Amino acid sequence: MSSTPTPRTRVVREPQRAVYDRDAVNQILDEAFVCHVGFVADGQPYVIPTSYGRDGDVLYIHGSAASRMLRHLDKGVPVCITVTLVDGLVLARSVFNHSMNYRSVVILGTATLVDDPAEKLAALRAISEHILPHRWDDSRLPNEKELKATSVLRLPINEFSAKVRVGPPVDDEEDYSFPTWAGVIPLEMNSGTPIPDDRCEQELPAYLQNYARKKKS
Amino acid sequence: MSSTPTPRTRVVREPQRAVYDRDAVNQILDEAFVCHVGFVADGQPYVIPTSYGRDGDVLYIHGSAASRMLRHLDKGVPVCITVTLVDGLVLARSVFNHSMNYRSVVILGTATLVDDPAEKLAALRAISEHILPHRWDDSRLPNEKELKATSVLRLPINEFSAKVRVGPPVDDEEDYSFPTWAGVIPLEMNSGTPIPDDRCEQELPAYLQNYARKKKS
């Protein structure tokens, strides 16, 4: 499904890299798990990193990221949530044509507090399952006091765009004779060996082995 | 050197994770190379990912990220530049105490256009060397036309704070008997095998072998 960009989400720079397709956007959102939330307080922009979850066309973040934001939250707060995956350094022959391979999503909208306890619990589960599938059911679930101490914000994924760059460098024709190495250095986030804490007595469960974000195709 | 937080940069949530030390902040800035720039246009926050460089107490970004921002730039634009490194998933026994190990820096201030050609060139070199040391001298350098097509913004690193979480999960005492695996899954960005482009005839130079962001100690 494709979405029509608004003047606010239409990609201005390098428009050939723009993606307005919801499925492609969801793929990026599902591979990443940290977003950067932008909001305004007293005319000053703030950008805070936090984790998130997705449930259909809604993005959820929880309040640990949002304290400064929540103080300014009345009936919702205009936000920009940006998600970025860096896939590689693109080394051209000219400095000017150096680039990166990346996939990023920008979502604009109004974030609102989730009041309904059932939606709140479902949202927290969505965030948990987004970061680490199966973990929710293998943890001690939130109690009422903990739920009260946690704020959850919802942002409908309605106004969005993505930017994607893939592939080798593109040099000006006259630069191809310049004697330097040119190509891509791929970058990927990998997990290391899990480190149990001092009081952990359990074997490492299957769902924690070879943690990876990329969907194996 | 420690910096005094302002009311805008004082860490509100989890203040024990706050770091106001400039050297620690510089270490985070130097290990990462993608920032998220927040700015405001017509009351709407925008957050755009871009690369950056550091020269002493100044952060530089270039205009490819800044087109929407630059349209609103007159004598400088209030920005928030946030840099985030994710070091691991922290799996506690309770959902509530799950966390991440991370290092993030938030810098507030006014970004201004770099007009001086010498500073502009030095800034572009700083960005290039920040992402990939030695590459600048091994590339075809920018010509006048390319320099004109590139905007560079400077942001003094004066008003900043960092947040750092390290170490194992911390559970409530009564949860330690809950039968689940608990500990940390380390995460790190790694480089893969460099991929030369179709017209590359050069051997891979030493500075491109084993590209890594973490300083080896």
CATH of the domain at B48: 2.30.110.10
**pLDDT in the model for residue A91:** 98
Show residues of chain A in contact with B43, CB under 8 Å. 40, 78
Lowest pLDDT segment from A73-77, A108-112, A153-157, B56-60: A73-77
Q: Domain for residue B94, yes or no? A: yes
- Mean local confidence (pLDDT), B103-118: 94
C-alpha–C-alpha distance, residues A83 and B35, integer Å: 12
Residue B28, SS3?
A: helix
Residue found under tokens 């890299």: A17
Q: Domain for residue B25, yes or no? A: yes
Q: Domain for residue B200, yes or no? A: no
- Interface probe with B: pick from A36, A73, A79, A209, most Cβ of B within 10 Å: A36
Please return the burial class of A34, using the count of CB atoms within 10 Å of its CB with bins 0-12, 13-18 and 19+: middle
Please return the burial class of B38, using the count of CB atoms within 10 Å of its CB with bins 0-12, 13-18 and 19+: buried
Instruction: Say whether pLDDT at B65 is over 50.
Output: no
Q: Domain for residue B1, yes or no? A: no
Q: Domain for residue B2, yes or no? A: no
As a whole-number percent, the residues of chain A with pLDDT over 70 amount to 93
Mean pLDDT of chain A: 92
| Of residues B23, B24, B33, the one with CA closest to residue B213 | B33
Both tokens of residue A101? 């391979």
CB within 8 A of A169, min separation 6: which ones? A90, A91, A92, A93, A97, A98, A99, A182, A183, A184, B197
Show residues of chain B in contact with A43, CB under 8 Å. 40, 78
Q: Do residues A22 and A88 lie in contact, with contact meaning Cβ atoms separated by under 8 Å?
A: no
Min Cα separation B90/chain A (Å): 10
| Of residues A193, A194, A191, A195, the one with CA closest to residue A212 | A191
Instruction: Say whether pLDDT at A44 is over 50.
Output: yes
- Interface probe with B: pick from A131, A140, A165, A204, most Cβ of B within 10 Å: A140
Instruction: Say whether pLDDT at A65 is over 50.
Output: no
Strand partners, A60: A53, A154
C-alpha–C-alpha distance, residues A136 and A53, integer Å: 13
Q: Domain for residue B173, yes or no? A: no
Lowest pLDDT segment from A60-69, A102-111, A137-146, B25-34: A60-69
Range of the domain at B39: 15-164
Q: How many CB pairs under 8 A join A and B?
A: 267
More confident residue, A72 or A19: A19
Closest residue in B to A37 (Cα–Cα): B47
Q: Domain for residue A73, yes or no? A: yes
Tell how far CA A40 is from the center of its chain: 20
Q: Do residues B98 and B185 lie in contact, with contact meaning Cβ atoms separated by under 8 Å?
A: no
Inter-chain contact B47–A38, Cβ cutoff 8 Å? yes
- Mean local confidence (pLDDT), A93-101: 97
**pLDDT in the model for residue A181:** 98
Three-state secondary structure of chain A: CECCCCCCCCCCCCHHHEECEHHHHHHHHHHCCEEEEEEEECCEEEEEEEECEEECCEEEEEHHHCHHHHCCCCCCEEEEEEEEEEEEEEECCEHHHCEEEEEEEEEEEEEEECCCHHHHHHHHHHHHHHHCCCCHHHCECCCHHHHHCCCEEEEECCEEEEEEECCCCCCCHHHCCCCCCCEEEEEEEEECCCEECCCCCCCCCHHHCCCCCCCCC
Both tokens of residue A214? 């990329």
Q: Please, which pLDDT band fits residue A76 given cuts at 50, 70 and 90? A: confident
Residue B65, SS3?
A: helix
Please return the burial class of B113, using the count of CB atoms within 10 Å of its CB with bins 0-12, 13-18 and 19+: middle
**Angle, vertex CA B16, rays to CA B12 and CA B17, nearest 5:** 85
Residue type at B75? Answer: K
More confident residue, A172 or A149: A172
More confident residue, B41 or B121: B121
Inter-chain contact A191–B195, Cβ cutoff 8 Å? no
Which tens digit of pLDDT belongs to each residue from B155-196?
999 999 999 999 999 999 999 999 999 999 999 999 999 999
Give the number of other CB atoms < 10 A from CB of residue B128: 22
Show residues of chain B in contact with A211, CB under 8 Å. 89, 185
Inter-chain contact B193–A179, Cβ cutoff 8 Å? no
Minimum-distance CB partner of A48 among B44, B81, B82: B82
pTM (two decimals): 0.94
The DSSP element (H or E) to which B146 belongs, if any, is helix B144-149
As a whole-number percent, the residues of chain A with pLDDT over 90 amount to 77
Instruction: Say whether pLDDT at B214 is over 70.
Output: yes
Q: Do residues A184 and A91 lie in contact, with contact meaning Cβ atoms separated by under 8 Å?
A: yes
Instruction: Say whether pLDDT at B23 is over 90.
Output: yes
- Burial letters A69-90, b for 16+ CB under 10 A, else e: bbeebeeebbbbbbbbbbbbbb
**pLDDT in the model for residue A158:** 95
Residue found under tokens 């925008």: B46
Show residues of chain B in contact with A204, CB under 8 Å. 181
**pLDDT in the model for residue A1:** 52
Both tokens of residue A1? 């499904």
C-alpha–C-alpha distance, residues A197 and B42, integer Å: 48
Inter-chain contact A43–B39, Cβ cutoff 8 Å? no
Show residues of chain B in contact with A174, CB under 8 Å. none
- Mean local confidence (pLDDT), B59-69: 72
Q: Do residues B89 and B167 lie in contact, with contact meaning Cβ atoms separated by under 8 Å?
A: no
Mean pLDDT of chain B: 92
Domain count, chain B: 1
Task: Tell me the backbone φ, ψ of residue B50, rounded to 5 degrees.
Answer: -160, 165
Strand partners, A162: A19, A105
Min Cα separation A16/chain B (Å): 14
Inter-chain contact B197–A188, Cβ cutoff 8 Å? no
Inter-chain contact B141–A78, Cβ cutoff 8 Å? no
Instruction: Say whether pLDDT at A2 is over 70.
Output: no
Q: Do residues B89 and A132 lie in contact, with contact meaning Cβ atoms separated by under 8 Å?
A: yes
Q: Domain for residue A197, yes or no? A: no
**pLDDT in the model for residue B67:** 63
Closest residue in A to B174 (Cα–Cα): A140
Residue B155, SS3?
A: strand
Going through B9-127 in order, the beta strands assigned E by DSSP cover 18-19, 34-41, 44-51, 53-55, 58-62, 77-91, 99-113
Interface predicted TM-score (ipTM) of this complex, two decimals: 0.94
Inter-chain contact B47–A198, Cβ cutoff 8 Å? no
Inter-chain contact B184–A194, Cβ cutoff 8 Å? yes
Inter-chain contact B182–A194, Cβ cutoff 8 Å? no
